[in-house]
């Protein structure tokens, strides 16, 4: 009997870890469960008419019945309506500044009884994943080893308190692999001096220096792009030597080399 209770309580652990953003593989490892069992629980929980929080509030025997019963994976009409929208969603996601949350809000206006935001994202991502090549070799990250840096998005501005004029800035961002610990700040330009200053501020905020810094192939970091031997800006090389770390630019047109998709 104790074993059955433990088994049922694990279903709630699966749902909670899924809500916390862990991949099915990571959940299976953490809970010492078969990955296909975790896949089945996550799929059923996502397709269930109840919200995740409502499922977690159920008594263990009731939840176990819902997750192991004979209902099909998609027991209601919501998924059929969602499938019709998928081509439109994919096209909209190619547009600048469009997010899944915005599309979900539009979807709920037309479908008040439709999927929650979490379920909406799950089904969209599952569809996108199914269209991609099944085998992709990715980096295996080590905690604290790599810091990814780049300038991103549109320039933003602030109002100078003295002159009243709008000052445009470029957004520098840094992100640690594994932990996804992030840093962002605005600098006046993408020139080397501003770039180096932003990196120094990032390292100060992190409280340490990673073994490897991975910049994108922007001009302030790389003077000559090459898939195998890019030429680094000498100022960036000097900075790396000062901090005792290495610079490993991302390969041109190979951004997926450095994207960690295991923790979603």
Q: What is the pLDDT of residue 10?
A: 80
Considering the entire predicted model, what is its pTM? 0.45
Taking the CA atoms of 220, 225, 227 and 231 in sequence, report the sign of the dihedral they define: negative
For residue 229, name the pLDDT band (cuts at 50, 70, 90): very low
Q: What is the DSSP letter of 166?
A: E
Is the pLDDT at 4 greater than 50, yes or no? no
Q: Which residues pair with 173 in a beta bridge?
A: 150, 184
Is the pLDDT at 136 greater than 50, yes or no? no
Higher per-residue confidence, 43 vs 49: 43
Look up residue 156 and give its two tokens: 């933003």
Q: Identify the residue whose tokens are 């991609």.
A: 132
Q: How wide is the angle at C-alpha 199 spanned by C-alphas 197 and 202, nearest 5°?
A: 110
Q: Where are the beta strands (DSSP E) in the chain?
A: 146-151, 156-159, 166-176, 182-187, 212-215, 222-224, 231-232, 246-247
């Amino acid at each position: 009997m104790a074993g059955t209770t433990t088994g049922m309580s694990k279903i709630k652990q699966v749902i909670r870890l899924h809500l916390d953003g862990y991949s099915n593989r990571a959940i299976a490892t953490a809970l010492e469960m078969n990955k296909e069992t975790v896949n089945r629980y996550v799929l059923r929980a996502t397709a269930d008419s109840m919200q995740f929080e409502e499922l977690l509030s159920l008594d263990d025997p009731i939840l176990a019945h819902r997750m192991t019963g004979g209902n099909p994976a998609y027991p209601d009409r919501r998924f059929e309506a969602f499938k019709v929208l998928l081509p439109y969603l994919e096209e909209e996601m190619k547009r600048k500044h469009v997010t899944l949350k915005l599309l979900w809000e539009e979807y709920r206006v037309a479908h008040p009884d439709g999927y929650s935001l979490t379920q909406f994202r799950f089904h969209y991502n599952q569809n996108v994943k199914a269209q991609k090549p099944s085998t992709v070799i990715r980096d295996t990250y080590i905690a604290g080893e790599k810091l990814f840096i780049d300038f991103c998005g549109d320039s933003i501005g602030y109002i100078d308190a003295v002159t009243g004029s709008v000052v445009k800035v470029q957004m520098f961002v840094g992100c640690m692999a594994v932990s996804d610990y992030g840093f962002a700040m605005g600098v006046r330009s993408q020139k080397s001096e501003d770039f180096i200053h932003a990196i120094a501020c990032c390292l100060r905020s992190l409280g340490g220096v990673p073994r490897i810094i991975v910049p994108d192939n922007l001009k302030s970091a790389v003077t000559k792009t090459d898939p195998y031997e890019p030429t680094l800006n000498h100022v960036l090389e000097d900075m790396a030597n000062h901090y005792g770390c290495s610079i490993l630019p991302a390969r041109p047109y190979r951004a997926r080399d450095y994207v960690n998709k295991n923790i979603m």
